Structure 1
Amino acid sequence: MRYEVTDDDTAMRLGSGDVPVLATPRLIAWLEAATVRAAVPFLGTGQTSVGTAVRVEHLRATRVGGEIEVTAEPPAAPAGRRLTFTVRAVDGSGQVVATGEIERAVVDRQRFLTPPPGPGAGR
C-alpha cells in the first residue's frame, strides 16, 4: 500500500508533535491497514481480525509530499487465533522509515460485536 504524506498526516495536525512531518499515529494506522488486508487469507466465514498489539520503531522523518510504501508480512505458521505480522515502511528514496510487528486476533465478527449481557440479564 502506497501513501503520500499530506498536511492532515503530520504530527502537528494529529497533536503528536509540533513539526510538519509524518505523525507516528498516522504511520501506525497505515501499517495496521496493511495487516488487515494481509489477514484476509487466514479468516473463515463470519470472522474478522482485531488489533491486539503494536511494536513499531519510527526511524526516519518524512515531509509533506513524501511517499511511503507500507507492507505487512504474514506469519509463516499462525499460532492459533493470533497472527503476528512483520511490518515495514519505506520512503520514496528507498530509506526504511519504520519496522516492527503488529499482532491481530481472529474473532467471530457477530460474537465480537454483541454486547455482553447487562446486570440482571436472564432474570
Structure 2
Amino acid sequence: MDEPASASIRHVVTEADTAAALGSGDLAVLGTPRLLAWCEEATCAALELPQGRTSVGTRVEVEHLLPSPVGATISARAELVRSDGRMVTFRVVALDQHEAVVGTGEIRRVVVDRARFLDRLRPVED
C-alpha cells in the first residue's frame, strides 16, 4: 500500500446537504451526516491501493463544531497518522472558505480484499 500522507476534497453546500434534507435535524445548514461523508471521502482519496483492494470504515469520531449555510465551501482534509497492518487511522479536519474549523476528528479504515469481503455478504431474504 503506497498511500500519500494526506488528501483534500472540496464541496459547496447545497440544499441536498442540509440537516433538513438528510433527516438529521430541521435546519437548512450542513448536516452532520454529509460532513462525515466528506471526511470519509478525503480518507479514501488519501489511500492508493492496488487493484483488488479497497478500504472499509470501522470507527468514526467527528465533532461538528460550526454551522455552514447553503453556498458555503467546505474543504475536508485527511492526514494519515497511523498504519498498522491493514488498519489505517486518519486525522480529519473540515474548514470553511474563511478557514474556520467546521469539524475535526479521527477515522479508522481497514484495507480488505474486495472479492473476499463481498463473498462474506449474506443474501437478503424477502
**TM-score bracket relative to the smaller structure:** 0.7 to 0.9
* Equivalent of 2:52 in 35, 46, 54: 46
Paired residues in the alignment total 115
Sequence identity of aligned pairs in percent? 53
In structure 2, runs of 5+ residues without a counterpart are 1-8
Counterpart-to-counterpart distance in 2, 1:112 and 1:74: 23
Quick one: which amino acid aligns to residue 9 of structure 1? D
Q: Which runs of 4+ in 1 moved over 3 A?
A: 115-118
Counterpart-to-counterpart distance in 2, 1:49 and 1:71: 17
> Over aligned residue pairs, what C-alpha RMSD do you find?
1.5
Alignment TM-score, normalising by the size of structure 1 = 0.88
1:29 aligns with 2:29: no
Structure whose CA Rg is larger: 1
Query: Residue 61 and residue 116 in structure 1: after superposition, are their counterparts in 2 closer, same or farther (change >3 A)?
Result: closer
Alignment TM-score, normalising by the size of structure 2 = 0.86
* Equivalent of 1:115 in 110, 116, 120: 120
Deviation (angstroms), 1:117: 8.0
Q: Which has the higher strand share?
A: 2
Q: Deviations over 1:44-102 (max 9, x none)?
A: 34211011110000000000001100000012x41111000000000011100000000
